[in-house]
Amino acid sequence: MNESKKFARAANQDQVNDPLPDQARRSLSLGLGLLPMFPLLPGCGAGSDDIDPSELSVLGKESRSSSAPASETGVFRHPGLLLTEADATRIRAHIKAGQEPWKGWWNKLCAEPKASLDAKPSPKPAVYRADSTKYALYRDIQHAWTLVLRWKLSDPQDNRYADKAVEFLDAWANTLKEVGTVPPGSTAHDDHTFIIMAGIQGHQFAQVGEILRTYPGWAPASLKRFQDMLLNVFAGISQARLKDAPLRSHANWDMASLCGALAIGVFCDKPDLYRLACDYYAANNRGKLKMFGNGSIVHGVYFMHPGHFGQWQESGRDQGHATLGMSLGGDLLEMAWNQGDDLYGLYNNRFLAAAEYVARSNLLDENGKTYPMPFARQHNTSEPHTALWTEVNQSFQHGRNAWEPIYNHYVNRMGLAAPNVARMVVQCEPKYGGSSDDVWWPTLIHRRVYAGPMKPASGLTAHLRGNRVVLSWWGSVGATSYAVKRSDRANGPFTLLRTVSASELLTYSDTPPNGVWYYQVTAQGIGAAAGSNVARIAVPGEARYAMPLNGVNGTGTTGMLQAPDGKWTVVEGALLDGATWGEGRRGDKAIVFDGKKAGLQLPAGIFSDLDDFSVSLWAYANSLRWHTSMFFAGNDGFSAMFLMPRGGSGVLCFGIHGVTHNDTQIVEAPWAMPIRRWVHVAVTLRGNTARLYVDGTEVGKSDDILLSPRQVGDQVTFLGRNWAHPSFDGRIQDFRVHAGALSAAEVAALAR
């Protein structure tokens, strides 16, 4: 049996037609088990079919939807992929009023040969990436998409175009049985790129069907036959990819599968498929130890540079592939938005950070030169071509249909400034067209106008890195500059530090005296705007988390956590798989790990905003096993940090990696951790310098650590175990985390 067919069938039999389990009906934002609270349901009304303020005079005021998101209810809004009913109404009004750019793009669509009523479908029983059959699939999807838009956006609607679109979908529904890479009997190498085709063309087919389902002339039996074809031929491939995706391929493999699963899930009313895509993108493990590939946003943005500049996973490869990630990402996030789930805003607009980074990589400055781009060295995990990337590959891509949903959401819906994306829209719009990777007619279906007041700067963060407090924030449409202010009180008054032009990267580094400081940024332009959120930070640091693990006074696994706003809360760890209590250092109790599976699970969020940090603990090892961890924290096993008593080279070490162990940045002692006695172990990171201490004495140092806790995340945090190896054989007490790097004297004091 062909590999792609086995892939699809196995996944379909496993889940596509399963009834929806009760547990899956909970919202993505609820935080299950190991899961942090993801901001998928913002107060701004995610997923409502909102109308631009400038369009209210044309269309009349429309109330915003208040229904719960599809990730929670399992109930979909139709049509609800890239084009909603409210979108179609809005666009028809623009066209009727002769407004640009809608009128111009409508005229182009009407003149497009693929809108011809003389077109005939060319369905194939099987489509392969390695031969010419794929072109029939590409062309017919483009025909069907253009035809269905020609029908849906006409006023009055001309049903001849809907009938012709139905003809195309019916032809493929009655014929197609398989998509693959190489046809049977071929000696060509099967590189499994049918996965990409299944996702991209599957989601594009679903776009056509989702709009056409509003046409009464499409017979229910024909609609069902087309849905079945998408489920049987396309959906299972995307689903199987997302259920167990390796990190050995680039982000676009996952992004294609995410689009395919989500779009087909909506069109075919399969909540399990939809939630699979949302969970995977958000790195929501729903309480299970799940690995995520490079299409998950926590891996897709490998490194967050100052100014909310997000290094995209494929930026070191080439810009054709990097911009494909933007094209697929914009489609994915827009579809979820139209179902009520705000993946756009996840992790402080992390996808916008990537889009601004990729856009600037494709632009030239006023002198016609490429912009210098920050780049954290990154391991290319794509097998068999593993390599180390050290810079952006600025091979320009100015024609891809990538930027419209990104620009029109963040800028024209939300009022955020995205200057590099905005420039790419201007450069790319005249060239939008024929790629089979991208959805056609993006300006026509996505373009909006922002005419609201200037919004406050937002998303302000403050991170301690070396001797600097590094600030980053999101700008506002209409702002000409930003006033950066500091205070020693949360409510001010604030003192102006500097005014940053809107044309600059939105970041500022401050070197304040020691103390606790509060920062705020105010957008300046036409009209007054309130200040941003207030960001708090302690210089040179402060206690973040303390967990005695001494078993006295009923504390057990209780610890105290200080949030970034300075408030302390009591948090509880959970003993796992046989962890128990034994003799402590001072006649008290210590947690005991059995060298097999035992562990202690800690809550997420302890490390989430830390650059400079310190971690320390007391440990008693009965014996040493390779690659066991006394401490482990990360988003999953691919991006994490760890403290091992005996690591890969046989010595005590601290390591941190962003794309598997091949990417590990490490600091080592000259020997393995001592056994059969209590040992104090500590790690500090200040800037790029990590230090490893044993019993208060420095035993290892590295000046080459680029990654930090906030870059790798902490959805999963353990003491005494890691992702896949046997647990620590011994006891642990007095686990502490410090925001900022402790001095050698402070570490020595903890070791007494």
Q: Per residue in 133-161, pLDDT tens?
A: 999 999 999 999 999 999 999 999 999 99
pLDDT of residue 460: 98
Q: 127 phi and psi, to 5 degrees?
A: -125, 130
Q: Which whole number is the average pLDDT over 24-42?
A: 31
Which CATH number among 3.20.20.10, 3.30.420.10, 3.40.50.2000, 2.60.120.200 corresponds to the domain 542-750?
2.60.120.200
| CA contacts within 13 A on the Cβ side of 577 | 17
Tell me the helices (H) and strands (E) count for the chain, helix number first: 20, 30
Out of 361-375, 554-568, 615-629, pick the least confident. Answer: 554-568
Distance CA 9, CA 178 (A): 11
| Identical fold, 3-61+79-446 and 542-750 | no
Contacts for 13 with CB less than 8 Å, ≥ 6 apart = none
pLDDT of residue 22: 31
Please tell me the CATH superfamily of domain 3-61+79-446, with its number.
Answer: Chondroitin AC/alginate lyase (1.50.10.100)
Confidence label for 25 from pLDDT (cuts 50, 70 and 90): very low
Identity of the amino acid at 65: S
Q: Which whole number is the average pLDDT over 178-182?
A: 95
Start-to-end Cα distance in the chain: 66
Out of 34-38, 319-323, 469-473, 576-580, pick the least confident. Answer: 34-38
Confidence label for 603 from pLDDT (cuts 50, 70 and 90): very high
Percent of the chain scoring above 90 in pLDDT: 81
pLDDT single digits (tens) 52-104? 433 433 333 333 345 899 999 999 999 999 999 999 999 999 999 999 999 99
Out of 14-18, 217-221, 485-489, 569-573, pick the least confident. Answer: 14-18
Confidence label for 723 from pLDDT (cuts 50, 70 and 90): confident
Q: Which whole number is the average pLDDT over 670-686?
A: 98
pLDDT of residue 182: 92
Confidence label for 491 from pLDDT (cuts 50, 70 and 90): very high
* C-alpha closest to that of 296 among 347, 362, 335: 347
Provide, for the chain, the percentages of residues in helix, strand and coil under a 3-state DSSP scheme, each rounded to the nearest 5: 30, 25, 45
Q: Which whole number is the average pLDDT over 32-49?
A: 33
With a cut of 70, say whether residue 553 has pLDDT above it. no
Distance CA 536, CA 513 (A): 14
pLDDT of residue 713: 95
The class level of CATH for 458-538 reads mainly beta
Residue boundaries of the structural domains of the chain:
3-61+79-446, 458-538, 542-750
pLDDT of residue 608: 86
Confidence label for 41 from pLDDT (cuts 50, 70 and 90): very low
> Could you count the other beta carbons within 10 Å of the beta carbon of residue 315?
28
pLDDT of residue 148: 98
Side-by-side strand order, sheet with 468-474: 458-465, 468-474, 507-510
Asked if 615 contacts 626 with a C-beta cutoff of 8 angstroms, the reply is no
Confidence label for 267 from pLDDT (cuts 50, 70 and 90): very high
pLDDT single digits (tens) 628-639? 999 999 999 999
pLDDT of residue 384: 65
496 token code pair: 């102006």
Name the H helices within 84-219: 85-96, 102-111, 133-152, 159-173, 194-212
| CA contacts within 13 A on the Cβ side of 562 | 17
Three-state secondary structure call for residue 222: helix
Average pLDDT, the chain: 90
pLDDT single digits (tens) 186-216? 888 888 899 999 999 999 999 999 999 999 9
Confidence label for 24 from pLDDT (cuts 50, 70 and 90): very low
pLDDT of residue 380: 87
Asked if 665 contacts 654 with a C-beta cutoff of 8 angstroms, the reply is no
* C-alpha closest to that of 693 among 662, 661, 654, 729: 654
Identity of the amino acid at 376: A
Q: Which whole number is the average pLDDT over 715-737?
A: 95
Q: Which whole number is the average pLDDT over 678-687?
A: 98
Out of 32-41, 317-326, 394-403, 690-699, pick the least confident. Answer: 32-41
Confidence label for 2 from pLDDT (cuts 50, 70 and 90): low
Q: Tokens 């509060």 belong to which residue?
A: 518
Q: Which contacts of 409-413 are long-range, i.e. CB under 8 A and separated by 24 or more positions?
A: 409/330, 409/333, 409/334, 409/337, 409/344, 410/344, 410/349, 410/352, 410/355, 411/450, 411/477, 412/52, 412/447, 412/448, 412/449, 412/450, 413/50, 413/448, 413/450
> Which residues pair with residue 590 across a beta bridge?
582
pLDDT of residue 54: 36
pTM over the 0.85 mark: yes
pLDDT of residue 3: 54
